[in-house]
Structure 1
Amino acid sequence: MRAAEAAGARAAAEAAGPARAAREPGPAPRPAAEVPAAGEGLAALTALFGETGVPAPLASRAAARLGPGAAAVLRGDPWRLLAVPGVLPRQADHFARRLLGQDARPDDPRRGRALVAHLLTEAAREGHTVTPAADVVTALERLQVPDPRAAVEAALDEADVLALTEEPAFDAGEDPDEDAALPEPEEILGLARWALAEEAAAEGFQRLTLTAVPLLEDDDVRELRSGLPEDRSLALTAALRTGVSVVRGAPGDIERTALAIASAAAGRGVRAAVAVPTDRAAADLAADGGAGDGPRVTSLHRLLEPRDDPSAAPGAVVFGRGEQRPFELDLVLVTDADGLDVELCAVLAEACADGTHLVLCAHTGAPPPAGPGSPLKDLEASETVPVVALDAAPPDGPLGALTAAVRGGELTPVEAPGREVVIVPAADAGEAVHRTVQLLTDSIPRALGIPPEGVQIVASSPGGEAGATALNAALKARLNPGPGKFAGMDPGDRVVVAAPLPHAAVGETGVVLGGGAHGLDVEFAGGMATLAPADASRLRHGWAVTVGLGRGTPRPAVIAVMSPEGLSRPAVAAAFGLARRHLSIVQAAGPALARAVRDTAAPERRTRLARLVMQ
């Protein structure tokens, strides 16, 4: 009943306006007259944190997550502080005690409700869209919640959390025992935004499959297939005849195939577009393919037409394309589709009109998305759409050979007479950081003629002594020292979008031009954008990025910094596969790197999409 009510509310909201991707959770916006101005709200929040001993730097993050009325929200419910990334339950409890005194009790319904949401949010950060209710209850007991079941009920009453059921799986090859008791369905919990996104994505895939008709006559398809290898012929046929299809292949090959399919279809009058992860990647693919008058090549973000909406909840990105205003396209091919979390996948499916053909293209062995869910893997597991694997072509040079070997589970040396691949050993994290700075500022520009702006550093982990954060700190000190006057950044800093913005997609890199009370001015590949002060918190320094932020945007040169943290075969293959001309591997992981490539796949995720698509 709760899921049905929430789905109904969601449908009503969609009918009233354009598609929204609430990419960061936040409270529902209050009427405009009640919401303080951003500056006033931040000042009130800073004062509140000063009263309660909360570190001042947390104010900007809390304002970005909870909105300009954050101070009032927290005074009414101090445990809402748990919605801010990085805040732990014990810290929220301390804040509540400072604010409420003796009225801050372990059995406060607000505490239990917030802890349930916190646990599910932490699970979502690991990629899960749902969690067994029993696991949540056990975790609440460890957090000394006196009545865990009451806490779950309090969370369900708020409608931000949904109770769902998971039917037991049966082995089709096993003879049922008539006398055996049937297993009970498992109760699972999920945050409403992810549960509803999975339902919307499933409905979208089903709708596109059922409403599809062939885009071209059989004679035209046969003519286009003539002379193509069998795998390309199958991919082209699936794209033109079925509503949803999946194509997998090697880095570079899959993008070229997507562009070739779109170009062939466009040449016969089909309205086609290729959507890639970032504006930078779109410009590179269009240049490589000589798109000219052919199909549109753009970032998925631009294709969805993001726009500013003052009424949106904090952190929400509002798209102009959706169910009420779908794409005016017959064929949409999306590259790096494994990088789509379930929410963005739902927005994409809803933006496709009835009869539009959607082709999801991805690299073989790609890592899962940074956000919750695993839509492409779930869609393949449902066996409801055609899946075409492109034949592996002979590796294209040392870079291709190394990446192919890693995808196959082997870390093998390759011959690189042109310095296409260089291994840089590092005894410890400090040496790894030193070597990385040296490669970016001196070795690669001097030896290969690739300027620093053509080099992307990709770290296996965001944290740690050789993670992306530590690398960026060292690179800023070397390349652009400054006080961090504008939200911790200075003109000349390279930045990356770490959470969606109306102006740019996650993973888009840019350079800070300046800033002030009006916001932060950043030059992205798609042009200059001015970010509101609260939105600046969605940027990170971007000389070094994680695999999740770097994926889908190849660069002339890549420095892959491999530390023991965050290693897996898909992550290593994705990092290596971003290099177009040169790859330097700063090896600070020792034997852990080879073990990860050989033995460590991406962790499994708990999701519902595969079952939903099959219903």
Structure 2
Amino acid sequence: AQEVKGIGFRTADQIAMSLGLERNHDERLTAGVDFALLQISQAGHCCVPEDILVKEAAKLLLVEPGEIALHVSALIAGNSLCVEDFHGMTLIYPRHLYYAEKRVAERLLLLKDRAKQAPNEDYDGIVAKWESRSGITLAEAQHEAVLSSLMHGVLVLTGGPGTGKTTVVRGMLAVLEAQGFKILLGAPTGRAAKRLSEATEREAITVHRLLESTGGTEGAPLFMRNEDHPLEADVVIIDEVSMMDISLMNSFLLAIPDGCRVILVGDVDQLPAVGPGSVLKDIIRSATVPVVRLTEVFRQAGESMIVINAHQINRGMLPDFSSSIDFQFAEINDSDAVAQAIVSLCCDQLPKEGFNVSYDVQVLAPMHRLVCGVENLNKLLQEALNPDADGKTAIVGANQILREGDKIMQMKNNYTKGVYNGDIGFITGIDHGRVAVRYPEQDVIYERGEVEELHLAYAMSVHKSQGSEYPVVIMPLISGHYMMLQRNLLYTAVTRAKQRVILLGSKAALNTALSNDRTKRRYSLLAERLVGEEL
């Protein structure tokens, strides 16, 4: 049912039932199980215990769980689904995620021992020479990381803000280039790639561009670069790896030639990828590839309250709001008042201070619903920043009106147009249902049926902000969002800001976020596969 463009499973199911399809028809049961698995993977899981899948599908289809269990067994027997038995738990996988997870483990274990040897094996001397030439003295962990880049086929570098990941990556580039290695740089999003490029003064592109995307669909992208046509490189460095899901990591590793080094850089304490898997966390947890974790915050970064408070938050401690303008908390206990205060900041206070609200300021909300959720804040901010006016064209979408001049976000990967989930642009024109959008790299025209891929972006979810930086971040903290008030969500939000963080809401909501470090474990066996557990 998901294959019918524009028709969800529930609508297709209603139509089929009204045409007389039996409730327990095999095709209906298969579609229902597939849809339940799709929802489970959209929640971040690669697999799911059989009993949970049966319960979810039975609820969806209004069919007895026993009947669903029999049908799931038949789908496994017919190779439509994959299964692993793990410590007495039966885990069900969609086929593509099962093979993606297996291949990621296989490729990492293969690549870590196959690195092309560096011509000069005086590794300490190479690093010392770079330090002397660049006038940089690396801290112990930083030195270990640069050294490790010369020694290992796969390396993970992780650390929070201000710990010097950028300095380390620059050092890695210098010593690896000095060995004559060809290096490619990438990141999961255009914004993260741009930041990497600015930090290293070298070209960095998205993983999709690196792999030469040629289209395909959301679940099955097509890439020119693969096992048969691998990347031409001796080293590939990817930043913001916490954002990579299992499918993208699989496509990436399949395109790495034997002997090529892979360096994965990211902050493991941030939110995991929107898609299935906790790839970076699982690789680190497996302890099967070398990992360098940077923990020391350096003096220059330590002068920023954003960096200091981000580390406080990560430890579950209350941020310091007393000493500077760059990290503020406005205690407002009424949700409507919080929403109005956000509008006032964007329309009045911040523009007076010289900030261009469209480009410099991003509102990040923990959830989509309620007064201080993404949906309502977007409506309020659109009305305040880009109101309806004579001669201004508009188009009505499902739950929103899009106007010429609006700040928007691409909500899913569109491989044909070369725009990806999370890309931000501005509407430059609307004509007969067609919408023109200006992105930093290109202008794109959307036909009437494609407009649903766009969403207002004055406010966005914290998840959608990953890999980006903004001069100013504004975040509501209200108790109504308690379901999503987690420490790693707050940490991810504040680490998006370069100059100022403004939190508005209740102290109770802030304390809930700080104390809640129970991040939901995602169902995946990547770490276990890397360790070589019997499955």
Determine whether 1:215 maps to 2:118. Answer: yes
Q: Structure 2: which amino acid aligns with 1:198?
A: E
Q: C-alpha deviations, 1:485-533, integer Å up to 9, x for none?
A: 1755232111112221232332221112224569532211222233455
Partner of 1:383: 287
Matches within 5 A, 1:245-256: 245-251=155-161, 253-256=164-167
* Structure 1 residues 540-551: aligned runs within 5 Å: 540-551=455-466
Task: Provide the C-alpha distance between the structure 1 equivalents of 2:99 and 2:450, rounded to a whole number of angstroms.
Answer: 26
Structure 2 CA distance for aligned equivalents of residues 215 and 396 of structure 1: 38
Does structure 2 conserve the Cα–Cα contact (< 8 Å) formed by 1:461 and 1:563? no
Asked if 1 retains the 8 angstrom alpha-carbon contact of 2:48 and 2:523, the reply is yes
Among 341, 344, 356, the alignment partner of 1:435 is: 341
Match of 1:367 among 256, 271, 283: 271
More displaced 10-residue stretch of structure 1: 398-407 or 484-493: 484-493
Q: Measure the CA separation in 2 of the matches of 1:497 and 1:255.
A: 28
**Aligned residue runs from structure 1 range 10-21, under 5 A:** none
* CA offsets 1:330-361 (integer angstroms, 9 cap, x no match): 22221211111111111111121111111111
Residues 313 and 223 (structure 1), Cα distance of their counterparts in 2 relative to 1, 3 Å cut:
closer
Q: Summarize the alignment of residues 179-258 of structure 1 with structure 2, pairs less than 5 Å apart.
A: 185-220=88-123, 222-225=125-128, 227-251=137-161, 253-258=164-169
CA contact (8 A) 2:412 2:421 kept: yes
Residue of 405, 408, 413 corresponding to 1:495: 408
| Contact kept in structure 2, 1:245 and 1:359, CA below 8 Å | yes
Name which of 399, 411, 415 aligns with 2:318: 411
1:156–1:162 contact (8 Å) kept in structure 2: yes
Of all paired residues, the percent bearing the same amino acid is: 23
Point out where structure 1 has 5 or more consecutive residues left out of the alignment. 1-24, 28-61, 65-69, 71-80, 169-184
| Deviation of the 1:373 alpha carbon | 0.6
Match of 2:487 in 1: 569
Tell me the SS of whatever aligns to 1:489.
strand
Q: 1:149 to 1:282 in 2, by over 3 A?
A: closer
Corresponding position of 1:167:
86
Aligned-pair distance for 1:288? Answer: 4.3
User: Is the contact made by 2:242 and 2:268 (CA closer than 8 Å) also made in structure 1?
Assistant: no
Structure 1 residues 529, 204: closer, same or farther in 2, change over 3 A? farther
Indicate if the aligned counterparts of 1:445 and 1:452 stay in contact, CA closer than 8 A.
no
Letter in 2 for 1:257: V
Name the SS for the 1:591 alignment partner.
helix
- Alignment length, in residue pairs? 506
The amino acid across from 2:319 in the alignment is: T
Q: For residue 607 of structure 1, report the CA deviation from its aligned partner.
A: 0.2
Kindly provide the amino acid, as one letter, of the partner of residue 243 in structure 2: G
Q: Deviation per CA, 1:448-503: give whole Å up to 9, x if none.
A: 54543211111111223211121112122222245741755232111112221232
1:315 positional shift: 6.6
Tell me, in whole angstroms, the C-alpha distance in 2 between the residues paired with 1:193 and 1:481.
45
Matched residue, 2:469 = 554
Aligned to 2:437: 522
Q: Does 1:272 align with 2:183?
A: yes
Q: Is the 8 A contact 2:113 2:152 kept in 1?
A: no
- Unpaired runs of 5+ residues, structure 2, are 132-136
What CA deviation, in whole Å up to 9, does each residue of 1:149-187 have, x standing for no partner? 23314544775x52312232xxxxxxxxxxxxxxxx432
* Cα gap change, 1:363 to 1:519, in 2 (>3 Å): same
Post-superposition offset of 1:122: 2.1
Bigger drift between 382-391 and 138-147 goes to 138-147
Please, which moves more after superposition, 130-139 or 600-609? 130-139
Amino acid at match of 1:505: Y
Task: For 2:274 and 2:71, locate their aligned partners in 1 and report how far apart those are by CA, in whole Å.
Answer: 29
Of 462-471 and 314-323, more deviation after overlay is shown by 314-323
CA distance in 2, matches of 1:517, 1:305: 33
Matches within 5 A, 1:83-122: 87=10, 93-98=13-18, 100=19, 103-122=20-39
Contact residue 159 and residue 294 of structure 2 kept, 8 A: yes
Q: Give the equivalent residue in structure 1 for 2:134.
A: none
Structure-2 separation of matches of 1:138 and 1:582: 46
Letter matched to residue 398 of structure 1: M
State how far apart, in whole Å, the 2-side matches of 1:128 and 1:435 are: 37
TM-score, with normalisation over the residues of structure 2?
Answer: 0.87
Among 336, 341, 348, which residue is 2:245 paired with?
Answer: 341
Who is 1:178 aligned against?
none
Q: Give the Cα–Cα distance (whole angstroms) in 2 for the partners of residues 258 and 186 of structure 1.
A: 41
CA offset at residue 604 of structure 1?
0.7
Q: What secondary structure, in the 3-state scheme, does the structure 2 residue paired with 1:63 have?
A: coil
Equivalent position SS for 1:424: strand
Evaluate the alpha carbon distance shift between residue 511 and residue 158 of structure 1 in structure 2; reply closer, same or farther with a 3 A threshold.
farther
Q: Is the 8 A contact 2:184 2:236 kept in 1?
A: yes
TM-score, scaled relative to structure 1: 0.76
Shift of residue 387, structure 1, vs aligned partner: 0.8
- Return the offset for 1:299: 2.8
- Give yes or no for contact 2:330–2:504 (8 Å, CA) kept in 1: yes
Shift of 1:579: 0.4
Q: Could you report, residue by residue, the CA deviation over 1:372-403 in whole angstroms, capped at 9, with x for unpaired residues?
A: 11111111122210111113214232111111
Counterparts in 2 of 1:232 and 1:167: CA distance versus 1, 3 Å: same
Q: Does 1:283 align with 2:227?
A: no
Q: CA deviation at 1:606?
A: 0.8
Q: Would the aligned equivalents of 1:322 and 1:351 in 2 still touch at CA under 8 Å?
A: yes
For the residues of structure 1 that align with 2:507 and 2:42, how far apart are their CA atoms?
28
- Deviation of 1:598 after TM superposition, in Å, equals 2.0
CA RMSD of aligned residues (A): 2.6
Report the 3-state secondary structure (helix = DSSP H, G, I; strand = E; otherwise coil) of the residue aligned with 1:211: coil
Partner Cα distance (2:234, 2:283) in 1: 21
Displacement of 1:580 in angstroms is 0.3
Change (3 A) 1:346 1:221: farther
Does the 8 Å contact 2:474/2:503 carry over to 1?
Answer: yes
Q: 1:313 to 1:412 in 2, by over 3 A?
A: closer
Taking structure 1 as reference, are residues 203 and 519 closer, same or farther at Cα in structure 2, changes over 3 Å only? farther
Secondary structure in structure 2 of the residue aligned to 1:296: coil
The 2-side partners of 1:489 and 1:260 are apart by 45
